[in-house]
Amino acid sequence: MSDSESVTKALSALHAGKLVAIPTETVYGLGADASNPLAIQAIYQLKGRPANHPLIVHVQAPLEYSQDKAHDWLAILSPWARHIPESAFVLIEHFWPGPLTLVFQKSRLVLDAVTGGQDTIAIRSPSHPLAQELLRGFRGGIAAPSANRFGKVSPSSAAHVRSEFIDQDDLLILDGGDCQFGIESTILDVSGDGEPRLLRPGSISPKQIKEATGINVSIDPIKDQKIPRVSGSLKAHYAPNTPLHLYKQGLSDFLQSIKQGRILDQSIALVVWEDKNLHDLAQLKELTKKSKLIQVPKEPIAFAHGLYRLLRLLDQSQYQTIYIPSPPSGEGWDAIRDRLQRASFGSGPSSINHPSS
């Protein structure tokens, strides 16, 4: 089936109130008509998502821009957002379509189910060409949280979605290949006064925003002010069923732990940076014959792109434990650190939390 045929089929499903898994440049989303209460309810039911956990609404980008780009975007956003500050238009001009979600004061027309009962709404315009084709054909907002069971590892390919919902034969999946970024969008709150506030780190950092627009992004929450709830903000999230631990000590210290027998008899997946000492790696391979040694790039963009694929692969490989090094300091690693800390806290075969070492 061609892409256009797949999009036509997806449009029919959305108009009929059904769910469609859609590709974006971040992760795959579980999409539904954002104006259809029953379709929104179906998202919550299939994911097992708490009713007060808001969704992100995806909107199309203007097909053609006039001389007034702000007016073009206003026409698209006005059914959803009640007030759009000037700073938001600047951010939109530089980063939409793309992996940036903005939180606005919601329009009175927006369903409470979409916002988790809040007076704010999260909106973004994805840059994936298939997502944009779908949105242009749909001519409305598509609510689309990540296409996975609530709190579990996000999907970065159509195959991930299919394995996540293996029992949902009628779920239509629009296959757009592997996701470009591999982690969820940056979320900024522009619903209040003052500087935009970072609610979730992502591929676009506050430093990049400052350099591109001159806008300062507040990183620390403002005291005594209500902060909107957003996707991915719970302490446990993005979690594999296999216990996941983040280790901060150097590889040599980890070697010593193995030699002392702490994990010698376990079947573990040990993730290490590609730049580690070859001698240490050789010793590790010798000592952990029952385990798997996986090298990953110590570069944030490449690491983020493969993060969820790695977690899914290791989670399906029957290891007793997964060990991943804590990301280095620096803003470029903030989004990855955020995902791994929440994944570690929520990991395990039951609801028992496993704090990182």
Lookup: tokens for 324: 């991943």
159 Cβ neighbours under 8 A, 6+ residues apart: none
Residue 193 confidence class, pLDDT cut points 50, 70, 90: confident
- Residue 256 and residue 185 in one domain: no
Cα–Cα distance, 328 to 55 (Å, whole number):
31
Lookup: tokens for 33: 């008509």
Q: What beta strand segments (E) does 55-136 contain?
A: 56-58, 81-83, 100-106, 120-124
CATH of the domain at 69: 3.90.870.10
Question: Is 146 known as a binding-site position?
Answer: yes
- Residue 77 and residue 187 in one domain: yes
Q: Is residue 299 part of a domain?
A: yes
Cα–Cα distance, 253 to 174 (Å, whole number):
46
Q: Is residue 219 part of a domain?
A: no
β 56-58/142-143 pair status? antiparallel
Q: Is residue 285 part of a domain?
A: yes
- Residue 193 and residue 255 in one domain: no
CB burial string 180-216: b at 16+ within 10 A, e below: bbbbbbbbbbbbbeebbbbbbbbbbbbebbeeebebe
- Residue 15 and residue 120 in one domain: yes
pLDDT of residue 349: 76
61-102: pLDDT as tens digits: 998 888 889 999 999 999 999 999 999 999 999 999 999 999
* Least reliable range by pLDDT among 49-63, 102-116, 123-137, 264-278: 264-278
Average pLDDT over residues 177-184: 97
Q: Is residue 224 part of a domain?
A: no
Instruction: Please say which residue of 156, 191, 213 terminates a domain.
Output: 213
pLDDT for 260 beyond 60: no
pLDDT for 313 beyond 70: yes
Instruction: Please say which residue of 157, 190, 213 terminates a domain.
Output: 213
Cα–Cα distance, 285 to 291 (Å, whole number):
8
Cα–Cα distance, 74 to 88 (Å, whole number):
11
Q: Is residue 351 part of a domain?
A: no
- Residue 273 and residue 182 in one domain: no
CB burial string 3-36: b at 16+ within 10 A, e below: eeebbeebbebbeeebbbbbbbbbbbbbbbbbbb
Q: Is residue 23 part of a domain?
A: yes
pLDDT of residue 272: 87
- Residue 196 and residue 255 in one domain: no
- Residue 193 and residue 58 in one domain: yes
Lookup: tokens for 151: 């709190």
- Residue 79 and residue 38 in one domain: yes
Alpha-carbon distances of 129 from 98, 125, 293, rounded to whole Å: 11, 11, 37
pLDDT for 212 beyond 80: yes
Question: Is 154 known as a binding-site position?
Answer: yes
Question: Is 8 known as a binding-site position?
Answer: no
Among 31, 347, 303, residue whose Cα is nearest residue 183: 303
Return the DSSP state at 160: H
Question: Is 197 known as a binding-site position?
Answer: no
- Residue 193 and residue 68 in one domain: yes
- Pairwise pLDDT comparison (282 vs 108), residue with the higher score: 108
Lookup: tokens for 96: 């939409």
Question: Is 347 known as a binding-site position?
Answer: no
Residue 147: other Cβ atoms inside 10 A: 29
Question: Is 200 known as a binding-site position?
Answer: yes
- Residue 42 and residue 181 in one domain: yes
Q: Answer yes or no: are the C-beta atoms of 215 and 310 closer than 8 Å.
A: no
What domain range includes position 301? 244-346
Lookup: tokens for 284: 């590790």
Alpha-carbon radius of gyration of the chain: 21
Q: Answer yes or no: are the C-beta atoms of 116 and 229 closer than 8 Å.
A: yes
Question: Is 108 known as a binding-site position?
Answer: no
Number of domains the chain is built from: 2
Q: Which residue has the tokens 């944009």?
A: 132
Among 187, 221, 190, residue whose Cα is nearest residue 55: 187
Q: Is residue 235 part of a domain?
A: no
CATH of the domain at 284: 3.40.50
Question: Is 70 known as a binding-site position?
Answer: no
Question: Is 44 known as a binding-site position?
Answer: no
pLDDT of residue 249: 60
Question: Is 128 known as a binding-site position?
Answer: no
- Residue 249 and residue 205 in one domain: no
- Residue 169 and residue 37 in one domain: yes
Question: Is 337 known as a binding-site position?
Answer: no
Q: Is residue 103 part of a domain?
A: yes
pLDDT of residue 49: 95
Instruction: Please say which residue of 190, 213, 236 terminates a domain.
Output: 213
pLDDT for 223 beyond 70: no
Among 105, 124, 9, residue whose Cα is nearest residue 58: 124
